[in-house]
Amino acid sequence: MGKLERLAINDEGFIFDPETGNSYTVNKTGLFIIKFLKEGKSEEEIVKALSEKFDVSEEDARRDLVDFMEQLRLYGLLEGENV
């Protein structure tokens, strides 16, 4: 099981990491992405989903997704099959 699957995440975007005790807040878009990452979706699928649900171009969504995954990696929340 990957790191993301072990996180406790509520609907408001509050995230608790039981391993480190760290907590995080994530906005609506971030929560949307994390949900897809947990389901093991590919980056392209996520980009497509973002541009379908939100008012954003695929190009902008792709750029933001790269940055968001970079943030998750820096916080140590991406590992194993998600990397």
Partner 1 sequence: MKEAYEKPVILKLKTGMMNKFGSSPAYIRKIRKEIDGVPVEELVEKFGSPLFVFSEKKLRQKFREVKNAFTLRYPNVEFSWSYKTNYLDAICAVLHQEGETAEVVSEFEYEKARRLGVPGNQIIYNGPYKPYDSLVTAVKEGARINIDHFEEIADLEKVADELGVKPRVGIRLNMDTGIHPQWSRFGFNLESGQALDAVKRIASGGKLELVGLHCHIGTFILDPHAYEVEVRKLVNFAYTVEDQFGFKIDYLDIGGGFPSKNRLKGIYLPPEVAVPSVDEFAERVCSALLSSLRPGDYPKLILESGRAIVDEAGYLITTVHAAKRLPSGLKAYVLDAGVNILFTAFWYKFNIEIDREVYGTSEPCVLYGPLCMNIDVVDDLTYLPPLPRGTRLILSPVGAYNVTQWMQFIRYRPAVVLIGENGEVDLIREAEDLTDIVRREKLPERLKLEW
- Give me the residues that bind partner 1 (CB under 8 A), please: 15, 22-30, 32-33, 50, 52-56, 60, 63-65, 67-68, 70-72, 74-75, 77
For partner 1, the closer CB: 1 or 55: 55
Q: Report the run of H or E that residue 9 belongs to, with start and end.
A: strand 8-9
Backbone region of residue 16 per phi and psi (left: phi > 0; alpha: psi in -120 to 50; beta: other values): beta
Amino acid occupying residue 41:
K
Question: CB of 43: closest distance to partner 1 in angstroms?
Answer: 13
What span, in angstroms and rounded, lies between the C-alpha atoms of 58 and 44? 9
What span, in angstroms and rounded, lies between the C-alpha atoms of 37 and 44? 11
Question: CB of 44: closest distance to partner 1 in angstroms?
Answer: 16
For partner 1, the closer CB: 1 or 27: 27
Question: CB of 19: closest distance to partner 1 in angstroms?
Answer: 14
